[in-house]
Amino acid sequence: EDQVTQSPEALRLQEGESSSLNCSYTVSGLRGLFWYRQDPGKGPEFLFTLYSAGEEKEKERLKATLTKKESFLHITAPKPEDSATYLCAVQAGANNLFFGTGTRLTVIP
Amino acid sequence: SQTIHQWPATLVQPVGSPLSLECTVEGTSNPNLYWYRQAAGRGLQLLFYSVGIGQISSEVPQNLSASRPQDRQFILSSKKLLLSDSGFYLCARTDRGTSRNTIYFGEGSWLTVV
């Protein structure tokens, strides 16, 4: 059965304290792994897509990496405005993403 | 532009009342459109998707239905709401002609059934 598990559920960081979020997955025929950022009461905002093991993508303080079984979202020197829930999703079939339940990140000034 | 409009943004409905949530998209032709639901503490769940006008696929059996009367319009409906229908409903799209099918989301509609 296709599954996506994100850890930790919640993470509190001091401003400038780097860390990583984990997304582990089991899916037959991965077509893509997606990271989204979601602010409270808002729709998810697309961040990255990764397609194959070894691929990396960067955007400002965020860097996403992919292996055959998991993906990491590395946050370097985070700022309070990075506080949000980060969602991971995998695409197996043509018309669906399987989402994890997210990691709620809080960055304290 | 990847604009997706959803309305209403928030609504409170009594049990047994009907529902209509509307989604329209801009800046693309013949997109794939999706309705997701996000319940507290759970991942996003795909409810319906549509690859064209009048073409609806249902992923989860329930008392909700979807329709696509126009290329850029997607409607989520119910004849009689249940308490369990409460949640955050998200319309999403993928665009034809782009590679790898990234799904973009609207701002969502909060539904509380009382």
| pLDDT tens-digit map of B26-69 | 987 889 999 999 987 778 999 999 999 999 998 886 899 999 99
Q: What is the pLDDT of residues B63-84, one digit of tens each?
A: 999 999 999 999 999 999 999 9
Q: Which of A31, A41, A95 sits opposite B49 (nearest CB)?
A: A95
Cβ-Cβ contacts under 8 Å, B103 against chain A: 34, 46, 97
Q: Is A46 exposed, middle or buried (0-12, 13-18, 19+ CB in 10 A)?
A: middle
Decide if A95 and B57 are in contact by the 8 Å CB cutoff: yes
Backbone φ/ψ region at A102: left (φ over 0), alpha (ψ -120 to 50), beta: left
pLDDT score at A24:
97
CA distance B49 to B41: 23
Structure confidence at residue B99 (pLDDT): 55
Option in A31, A32, A43 nearest B105 (CB): A43
The rounded distance, in Å, linking the Cα atoms of A70 and A68 is: 6
Residue A103: predicted pLDDT: 97
DSSP B102: -
Work out the number of other CB atoms within 10 angstroms of the CB of residue A42: 16
Say yes or no for a CB contact (<8 Å) between B49 and A98: no
Per-residue pLDDT band at B100 (split at 50, 70, 90): low
Q: What is the pLDDT along chain A (109 residues), one digit of tens a residue?
A: 678 999 999 999 999 999 999 999 998 888 899 999 999 999 999 999 999 999 999 999 999 999 999 999 999 999 999 999 999 999 877 667 889 999 999 999 9
Q: Which residues of A touch B4 (CB under 8 A)?
A: 43
Mean pLDDT of B96-112: 84
Determine the pLDDT at residue B1.
46
CA distance B65 to B78: 6
pLDDT number for residue B11: 95
User: Residue B37: which of B112, B113, B108 has the closest Cα?
Assistant: B108
pLDDT at residue A30, as a whole number? 85
The answer to whether residue B7 neighbours chain A at the CB level (below 8 Å) is no
Which of A97, A99, A101 has its CB closest to that of B41?
A101
Chain A neighbors of B93, CB-CB under 8 A: none
Across the interface, do B43 and A101 touch by the CB < 8 Å criterion? yes
